Amino acid sequence: MRCDILTLFPAAVESYLAVGVLGKAAISGVLVPRVLDLRRWAGNRYGQVDDAPFGGGAGMVLMAPVVVRAVREVVQAQGLPSRIVIPDPRGRRFDDRLARELAGSPALVLVCGRYEGFDERVFELLPAEVISIGDYILAGGELAALVILEATARHLPGVVGDPDSVAEDSFTSGLLDYPVYTRPREFEGLAVPEVLLSGDHAAVRRWRREQALARTRRWRPDLLAPGTGTGEPEQ
Ligand code: SAM
């Protein structure tokens, strides 16, 4: 998957892209990320990308010609059926279903806002998907873009070493994940459940399934509601 990220803070994005799952995905070539400074498309030699809002008010607004030119050029350079994503608090709420959907695209363009956000004409002129990562306000779209990209990249083949790990993750299976333990066998009076030490793989599988269901019932009963598409009807 090609992924171009447009931002005013390339260094912040690049440092995160270099580590962990995203770093490995880039090294293996499954993900081809590129971080581009929006100032490259600035309208004047001072690198201006924002201006005061018409009508007055606080903060600065990212200029439509800068953003629209940048995105169009990047999409053309990708030469693929790209999905343009603008992280913004008003957008469709991001979740694992949307991450899997985005993972099916050969190319993404993620456009990070700052300050008061984008001139409204950006949303009118670009065929973009507007995605929110939650009902709160971040200072910029960089963290949101990285959240979207990391959750999406986990669904690309080969990115997470053991595919079972992704299949069993919370939400992917339609349930929350089961509890996990490692050494020591006992800590502060709490012992690892016997079944995990039994060597009986069928019993371990059964126990994990029951635990995943019990956890989901307790913490996220909404995931079990009919019509959520989890495939795990309440019994
Ligand atoms: N004035 C805007 C509002 O009230 O909706 C907020 C602008 S915010 C300070 C600057 C940028 O951060 C936005 O353009 C967007 O790219 C990003 N951002 C902030 N919160 C976000 C969220 N919950 N989800 C996705 N992106 C967000």
Q: Say yes or no: CB of residue 38 within 6 Å of ligand 1.
A: no
Which CATH code is given to the segment(s) 168-223? 1.10.1270.20
Write out the residue limits of the CATH 3.40.1280.10 domain(s) in the chain. 2-153
* Residue 157: how many other CB atoms lie within 10 Å: 9
pLDDT in tens, 206-224: 999 999 999 999 999 999 9
pLDDT in tens, 76-129: 999 999 999 999 999 999 999 999 999 999 999 999 999 999 999 999 999 999
User: What does pTM read for this prediction?
Assistant: 0.93
Q: Say yes or no: CB of residue 85 within 6 Å of ligand 1.
A: no
The residues that are catalytic are: 89, 116, 154, 169
CB-based burial of residue 138 (10 Å sphere; 0-12 exposed, 13-18 middle, 19+ buried)?
Answer: middle
Asked if the model's pLDDT at residue 192 lies above 80, the reply is: yes
Percent of the chain with pLDDT over 90: 87
CB-based burial of residue 146 (10 Å sphere; 0-12 exposed, 13-18 middle, 19+ buried)?
Answer: buried
Which CATH code is given to the segment(s) 2-153? 3.40.1280.10
How many CA atoms, within 13 angstroms, populate the side-chain half-sphere of residue 227? Answer: 0
Kindly give the distance from the C-alpha atom of residue 6 to the centroid of ligand 1, in angstroms, as a whole number: 15
Q: Say yes or no: CB of residue 144 within 6 Å of ligand 1.
A: yes
Cis before 106 (ω within 30): no
Kindly give the distance from the C-alpha atom of residue 23 to the centroid of ligand 1, in angstroms, as a whole number: 26
Q: Residue 89: helix, strand or coil by DSSP?
A: strand
pLDDT in tens, 134-143: 999 999 999 9
Kindly give the distance from the C-alpha atom of residue 13 to the centroid of ligand 1, in angstroms, as a whole number: 16
Write out the residue limits of the CATH 1.10.1270.20 domain(s) in the chain. 168-223
**Ligand 1 atom with least separation from CA of 90:** 5
pLDDT in tens, 152-189: 999 999 999 888 888 888 888 889 999 999 999 999 99
